[in-house]
Amino acid sequence: MINTEGTEPIYVQIANWLETEILNEKIKGDEKMYSQYKLAEMFNINPATAAKGLNILVDDEILYKRRGLGMFVSANAREIVLQKRKRTTLEKLIEDVVREARILEVDEKNLIAMIKKKIGE
């Protein structure tokens, strides 16, 4: 789940894990989110690190704070995460594929055919 030996900061991994939980609908809109202390306990990390991960999601409006009650998942959190991942992860992967196709002299028609083949598998 969390890789303490990797290069990606732990708080980013926490945010990504929570986003995946939302995408998989294990955590749903308007539900109470894990506290920083619960996340710290779950992953054996510092609560401040967990809080940084939660705050990424607050900044992206995936979570919202209710004073005295904790953090909650936004009603449209799943859609926000879908759009965010399409915009960041998928576009980055597409840029890499297109760049590699140019290096390998694969034209647009053949690249699209390769993609369609993979989609059909």
pLDDT tens figures, 55-68: 999 999 999 999 99
Q: Are residues 25 and 48 in the same domain?
A: yes
pLDDT tens figures, 8-28: 999 999 999 999 999 999 999
Structural domain harbouring 60: 10-76
| Total domains, the chain | 2
pLDDT value for 22: 97
- Say if CB 2 and CB 13 are below 8 A apart: yes
Is position 3 within any domain? no
Is position 95 within any domain? yes
Q: Rounded mean pLDDT of the chain? A: 94
Q: Are residues 83 and 28 in the same domain?
A: no
pLDDT tens figures, 29-54: 999 999 999 999 999 999 999 999 99
pLDDT value for 121: 86
pLDDT value for 13: 96
Residue 1: is its pLDDT beyond 80? Answer: no
Q: Are residues 72 and 48 in the same domain?
A: yes
Q: Are residues 67 and 94 in the same domain?
A: no
For range 81-96, the mean pLDDT: 92
Q: Are residues 30 and 84 in the same domain?
A: no
- Say if CB 81 and CB 19 are below 8 A apart: yes
**Domain end call among 76, 95, 112:** 76
Q: Which of 48, 13, 18, 42 is nearest to 31 (CA)?
A: 18
Q: Which of 5, 29, 35, 3 is nearest to 16 (CA)?
A: 3
